[in-house]
Structure 1
C-alpha cells in the first residue's frame, strides 16, 4: 500500500468540513474533526511565526492526555516539526539528557510542570498548555501558513523524521529513536487494512503517551475518521476504570499488554457474576478488536479471551521494537494449541530475518501480501 502520503495528508483530508467527533473525553465532551484541524492549523501557524519552528526540529510535548495534547501533536507535524512526547514524571536530570539529545528548544507543558523544565537547565521556550485555547483561536489564513515558512507540510518527504520516542531502557541506557514519515504511515496503513476501521469506531487511548503503542492509538483515526476516547489520566492500569470506559463509551478497538488484559478479563467476569450473567460474561457488545503487545502472550490467556468473546471480537498479538516503527509482525488468535502465541507474520513492508546462534542468516520471512 505504497501511497506516498504523510500523516498530515490524511489528517487534512479527513478533518476538513468533518463535524464527526475526533476526540471524546469525560462524560459526553467532544471535539469535532473540523475544530481539531482548525485549532492545530492555528497553533502550527503560531509555532512557525512566533517561535521560528524549522523543518525537522524536535518539539517536546509534556502535556497530560487531553484534547490539548492532540492539538499540539498535530500542530507540530503540520508545522514540519518532529513530535516528541515527554513524561513530566521523569527526573529532571534524565529529562535534561533527553532534551539535549533531541536538541530541543521548544516544549509544551502545564503551568504546574514549568519548574521541572526549568530545573533541567536546558534553554527552552515553554508554551503553556493552559493557554492553547487562546492561541488556537488566533486569526490566521491557511494561505499565510503555507507561504510564510519554508517548513510547511507540502515540502515534507517520506524520508523526513516524524516522531522521536525514547526506549524504556530495559536492555540498557534508554536511547532516542527517530522514525520517518514513510515508516510511520506504512505502519498505520497496515493497521487500517487489518482493522478495517470506519468513522463509527472509537479507540480507547489509554497507553502512556511516551510509549510507541500510543502512536497508532492517537493517529490511526486520521486514516478513517474514527475517534479517540481519552481515558482519564491515572486510570491507565486500573481494570475497573478501564472496564467502565469500555462499557460506557462503546469502545470498539483497544490495546493492552497481556499482564493488564488478564485482570481486565477477570473484572469483566466478576461483574458478570455480580449482575447474574455468569453464563454470558461479556458485557461489551461494541468491542470488536483487541490488540496486545509488549509481552509474551500465553495461550491460556488467549483461550480465556476466546471463551469470553467467542468469534465476535478478534484478539491480535503484535510484536515489534521501538526502533522499527512500533510493530513488525502480527498473529490473529483464531485458535490456540501451544503454551505461547507466536509473533506471526510480517506487517506489509516488513521482513523478518531468522538467524542461527552464530547470527548466520537462515531465512528471510516476507509478508506475501507485500511481495
Structure 2
C-alpha cells in the first residue's frame, strides 16, 4: 500500500511511502547520534504528522519513545529527562525557545529539513521483541512521576489482538485524538499502519471539543475511534441536541476506556448510534503497566444489560481476582484484580523496589510475574469481570466491609441519577455513615 494515504492532518496528506521514507531518514540520523536498543528518545510535539514520523523514526532506529507534553512544567520535564537518561529530544520549532535549557539534553528540530535527506531505505532491524518500545510517565504517590517501560512484544500482542477482534482494512480511518502522553494513544498511533488503513489526526486540543470531533468524523469518514466515558457523554449529548446522527454515520466501532463506563452512557449510545446506524460500542480496561488494555466487553447488543462489565481477557493475558490472603476468589466475591501475561511492562524505570512490589511473583504460575492493579473486581457467572472501583474505596462500617464502588454502581441504575459518589463520614455520635 505504498501509495495509499496513511496520515491526514487538516488539509495535509501523506502516503505510506512518504511516511516510511521520512521515518527511515530520521531513524538513520538518530542512529548516527548513538541511538540503539533501549535508548530513550524524548518527543515534544503537538499532534501533527511530525509526531507520527518522529515516533516511527525512534522505533525504526531501535529506540524507545518518551512522549513529553509541551505544556508540562519545566521541573517535570527535567525530571523525566534525567530519570529516563534521554539525551535527545525531537521537538517542534515553536517549543524550542519556550523551554529553558535542560541539562544533558540535545534538542533536535523535527522541522529541520536537513534531517530528511539521504538514504530512504528501511534501516537494518536491530531491536528485539524484548527491547523497549516506549516509556510513559504516570503520576506517582510520592509526587514524582514514575516511568512505565513497555517492550516491543507487548505492543505487538496488544495490536495483533485488536486486529483479530475488531478487524480494520484499507478503507478504514482511525481518529487519533488521545494525547500521546496517555497510553490509549498507542493503538491510535500504530494500529492503522499494520493494515493499510488511514489515521486522521485531530487538531491539537480538539479532543475536548465535540464540534471539532464531529467535523473530523464527517470530513474524513472516520470509522474507528476512542473516548474516555466522560467525553463520550459530552459527545452524545452534543450529537443528540444538534440532531446530527447522519454526519457521523461513517462510524463503525467506538472504544471506551480510561474511566468506568456506566449503564446510562451505554444505553444512550445504543439508542442513538447502535440502533440507528449499527455503530458498536466496546468497553476496554487496562492500566498503563499492562500495555493499554487487558480486557474487553461488547456493549452493543439486543440484550438488556444489568451492568457494564470490563469483560474477558484479551489474547495472551491472564486475569486473577485475588483475596487479601493471596488466594483466588470464587465467582461473585470481590478481590484485587491482578494481571499476568504478555502485556506486562518491564517495570518502573529506576524504581526496583516499587517494581518488585507491584510486579510480584505469580503464585498461580511459577516463574511468571503478576501485576497488582489496586483495582477491585469480581467474576460474574457468565465469565465477565465487573469493575468495582479502587481497593482503597473499601470501607468498614459496624464490622461490615462495604464496597463504595458497588453502591455507586447501584445508584447509577436509577434513571434520574447521572453521576454518583459515595463517601463514608463520621457522624456526631462517632459512628461512620455513608453519604
1:314 maps to 280
TM-score by length of 1: 0.84
Is 1:243 aligned to residue 214 of structure 2? Answer: yes
CA contact (8 A) 2:184 2:292 kept: yes
Cα deviation, 1:326-369, whole Å, max 9, x if unaligned, reads 1110001024422x41110001010111112444323699999x
Is 1:122 aligned to residue 76 of structure 2? Answer: no
The one of 310, 318, 329 equivalent to 2:295 is 329
CA contact (8 A) 1:299 1:336 kept: no
Q: Alignment partner of 1:331: what SS?
A: strand
Q: Alignment partner of 2:214: what SS?
A: helix
2:423 maps to none
Q: Alignment partner of 1:193: what SS?
A: helix
Give the C-alpha shift of residue 207 in structure 1. 0.3
Against the structure 1 CA distance between its residues 170 and 197, is the aligned structure 2 distance closer, same or farther, given a 3 Å change threshold? Answer: farther
CA contact (8 A) 2:9 2:200 kept: yes
The one of 25, 39, 55 equivalent to 1:42 is 25
Give the C-alpha shift of residue 116 in structure 1. 5.2
Any stretches of 5+ residues in structure 2 without a counterpart?
Answer: 331-337, 342-382, 384-435
Q: Alignment partner of 2:248: what SS?
A: coil
Is 1:203 aligned to residue 174 of structure 2? Answer: yes
Larger Rg: 2
Which of the pair is proportionally richer in strand? 2
1:12 maps to none
* Higher relative contact order structure (alpha carbons within 8 Å, sequence separation ≥ 6): 1
Q: What CA distance in whole angstroms lies between the structure 1 residues aligned with 2:311 and 2:76?
A: 36
Against the structure 1 CA distance between its residues 304 and 68, is the aligned structure 2 distance closer, same or farther, given a 3 Å change threshold? Answer: same
The one of 226, 235, 249 equivalent to 1:285 is 249
Aligned length: 331
Cα deviation, 1:284-338, whole Å, max 9, x if unaligned, reads 2210000000111111110100001125111000000000011110001024422
Which of the pair is proportionally richer in helix? 1
Q: What CA distance in whole angstroms lies between the structure 2 residues aligned with 1:54 and 1:283?
A: 46
CA contact (8 A) 1:282 1:308 kept: no
Q: CA RMSD in A?
A: 2.2
Q: What CA distance in whole angstroms lies between the structure 1 residues aligned with 2:142 and 2:188?
A: 25
CA contact (8 A) 1:243 1:267 kept: no
Any stretches of 5+ residues in structure 1 without a counterpart?
Answer: 1-16, 147-152, 276-280
TM-score by length of 2: 0.72
Q: What CA distance in whole angstroms lies between the structure 1 residues aligned with 2:86 and 2:274?
A: 48
Q: Which moved more, 1:301-310 or 1:353-362?
A: 353-362
CA contact (8 A) 1:293 1:319 kept: yes
